[in-house]
Chain A
Amino acid sequence: MRLHRSSSGRFAFAAVLLVLPFVIDALLGHGWVRIADFALLYIMLALGLNIVVGYAGLLDLGYIAFFAVGAYTYALLGSPQFGLHWPMWVVLPLGALIACGFGVLLGAPTLKLRGDYLAIVTLGFGEIIRIFLNNLNTPVNITNGPQGISAIDPLQIGSFSFGSSYEWLGFRVDDVHLHYYLFLAFTLLVIFVSRRLEDSRIGRAWVAIREDEVAASAMGINTRNIKLLAFAMGATFGGISGGLFAGFQGFVSPESFSLMESVMVLCMVVLGGMGNVGGVVLGGILLVVLPELFRNAAGPVQQALIGRVVLDPESLRMLMFGMALILVMLWRPAGLWPSTQRRREFAAEDSVLQQEQETVYDARK
């Protein structure tokens, strides 16, 4: 995000982020602070997927699998399931590492695939992971199958637990607030890494691969490694987010990792602005907050207008959500807050097409 260049601007922005959970709590209630926590988890996920889809141009429809791997790593190593209670600072990095491994596992066989074909394979991969989690309860019970794993250890550093409430100087700080700060710290780290990657040699190599893979290798870019790196980096972010999710929820089950979730994260990236960190963050916030708004507003609004609830708020919510997506894609095809490059691309799309036609025409003459 290039918004807050001046140091005073940065300072004000940081202050807003710091007091935000308390403002939300005071204005909207506890539940909304929890939603803010989820928004941060989704932002991390979306930023991870942004590396794969936005930077490297590899369409991944099974991205939620890495979130699942991170979550289950945390759940299995920090719950009564195996009686293991490893500390967070071991389990979180381990989850990220294992997710990274799965990223390479997905990336390696799909190196030669692009576009639709890659999308199909990644979609299958996401489902495979979910189905495995669903069925790994026999013959040896590892994941506890569809029941999922509960009583997962809270996120904890030493004796300080993010899952408890504390009173400091007569000021009550609840678990949702604490998680907010923890997730915020991780989100800022992910944003920092994303921005650095974008401006690096690796970032330029991803752009080249996204634009033209053959030309990229003619530039001396090791396309195989650079593509694997994109999968690995994206998966790592997903794994971190997953671990935090497991510790936050205290419960994981395979149904949290359905295809719909992958699609949701992809929507955040595309709707917000593929390739632009700020846009992806915006997409993540909107797609977590808007459905919740619909959920809360749909019932009362109907009640007020026609005296009773005709449409189930839950299904209405998806309808509104779908319509919002279509409208955004019609009016802002490059996303709400696109990267300068993508904005240019969309602006130039027509002229490029025209140029290509002329070239073909020239060649025929």
Chain B
Amino acid sequence: MNHLLEVENLKVSYGGIQALKGINLSIAAGELVTLIGSNGAGKTTTLKVLAGLLHPASGKLQYRDRSLLHVPAHRRVVNGIALVPEGRGIFARLTVEENLLMGAYIRGDKAGIADDLERQYVLFPRLAERRTQLAGTLSGGEQQMVAMARALMSRPELLMLDEPSMGLAPLMVEKIFETIRGISIQGVTILLVEQNARLALETAQRGYVLESGAISLSGTAGELLGSDAVQQAYLGA
């Protein structure tokens, strides 16, 4: 199988503590893959390494068969990797539209940017209503939409979402996940990090379970949903 992203034996330490103890994962182009696990398992750490915000102690990181290890964070965006950070990381004091335009920072094609901006407003009609509002004054769900739309403005191949459901009302969570499916159908490869294991597995095609810095299980979403271990640990069955 030809993989878009391949991670091999990735290790990360914070000081003396090993946060990732050598994980392997791979994502094929067009897939929607989820990484689930409890608090402190190393999910966000994994995404930070992939985005270039954190340097691994060792391991291989291949993107389109080229190593990412020495590619700085800002170049990875140019290579098509976009991150929607944990806690959204929106520019609270800029308007919704300014946030989205900031997402297109690496692009120079004005017409294309304008087109994509309209596309985001179609995908997230709520944002169209609020384009001149300061992003910090939006509700949590709307802020999540801003963060996602902003990431899409860089026209990513691989979109990484860090806990998009965090702190949102159940109805809003439904809506956000519906949008994630929509983005996936458009052909964007997605790596979804979630604590809400059931929802994540119902949305994704494949999944990995991260447990204190190591992958404990992997498989298709259906397999994982049906497995006893996942049921007990994450689905509360």
Contact = CB atoms under 8 A, between A and B. Distances in A.
Contact of A208 (B75, B102, B169): B102
A207 interface: yes
Contacts of A73: none
A355 B167 CA distance: 12
A201 B105 contact: yes
Given A214-B85, A215-B90, A359 B74 contact: no
B105 A219 contact: yes
B73 A217 contact: yes
Contacts, number: 94
Interface string B124-151: 0000000000101111100100000011
B167 A215 contact: no
Chain B CB within 10 A, most for which of A220, A222, A345: A220
B94 interface: yes
B145 to A, nearest CB: 14
Q: What secondary structure prevails in chain A residues at the interface with B?
A: helix
A85 B93 CA distance: 51
A204 interface: yes
A135 B111 CA distance: 59
B166 A215 contact: no
A56 to B, nearest CB: 14
B91 interface: yes
A344 B137 CA distance: 11
Contacts of A208: 91, 102, 105
B72 A222 contact: yes
Size category of the binding interface on chain A: 20 to 34
Interface in A310-365: 341, 344-345, 348, 351-352, 355-356, 358-360, 362-363
A211 B154 CA distance: 19
B152 interface: no
Nearest to B82: A218
A190 to B, nearest CB: 26
B74 A220 contact: yes
Question: What 4 pairs across the A-B complex have the smallest Cβ distances?
Answer: A220-B77, A363-B167, A352-B136, A220-B106
Interface of B: 51-53, 72-75, 77-78, 82-83, 85, 89-94, 101-103, 105-106, 134, 136-140, 143, 150-151, 154, 166-169
